[in-house]
Amino acid sequence: MRVIGPEGENFGVLSLSEAISRAEEVGLDLIEISPNAVPPVAKIMEYGKFQYEQEKKRREIKAKSHTTETKSVQVKIGTGDHDLALKAKKTAEWLGEGHRVKVDLFLWGRYKYMEFGFLKERLEKFLKLIPTEYKIADPVAKSPKGLSTVIERGGKSK
């Protein structure tokens, strides 16, 4: 196995017993860094310090990653203008945070059988109220609830 010393120096390829004796001479642990390499790589260092560095790397990766959720906004045909404006503002906040937003035009009863063009126009009226730039990820389509579309941040599809 290839052994790296506590200061980063390369001890070369040593047998396992030689590597363990070198680590014991210094009073540190022998830690296998890369078991799949040929030959495997081990480092002489303190195990607690190794664990700390690994946890630090994990935290850094977790902090940099951002999960995007698909938020949902439900609009009805009879929703008032002020309520639509509030929902549009909330949608803009979610888009600003980098989330996708599913916009549903909720239809019930006889509203389900209204003309598709009229219903699509109502949904697009709400989309025009959204103050930020967005692009349409999924076009307007019929869904079990009524009509729906998915929008996400960016683009000039407004």
> Who's near 125: CB < 8 A, 6+ residues apart?
84
Tell me the pLDDT band of 158, cut-offs 50, 70 and 90. very low
Contacts of 158 (CB under 8 A, 6+ apart): 127, 128, 130, 133, 134
Nearest Cα neighbor of 77 from 10, 35, 32, 125 is 125
- Asked whether the predicted pLDDT for residue 87 surpasses 50, the reply is yes
What domains can you pick out in the chain, each with its CATH number?
A: 2-64 (3.10.20.80), 70-153 (3.30.110.10)
Can you tell me whether residue 51 is helix, strand or coil? Answer: helix
Q: Distance between terminal CA atoms of the chain?
A: 60
113: Cβ–Cβ under 8 A, 6 or more apart, which residues? Answer: none
pLDDT at 82 over 90: yes
Q: Which of 87, 12, 72, 76 is nearest to 44 (CA)?
A: 12
* Per-residue pLDDT band at 156 (split at 50, 70, 90): low
- What value does the mean pLDDT of the chain take? 88
The answer to whether residue 26 scores a pLDDT higher than 70 is: yes
Q: What is the pLDDT of residue 143?
A: 87
Please say whether the beta carbons of 4 and 44 come within 8 A: yes
pLDDT at 89: 94
pLDDT in tens, 99-142: 899 999 999 888 888 888 889 988 888 999 999 989 988 888 99
What pLDDT, on a 0 to 100 scale, did the predictor assign at position 2? 92
pLDDT per residue as tens digits for the range 43-78: 999 999 889 999 999 998 888 777 778 899 999 988
Classify 38 as helix, strand or coil: coil
Mean pLDDT of 21-36: 91
Structure tokens at 33: 């860094």
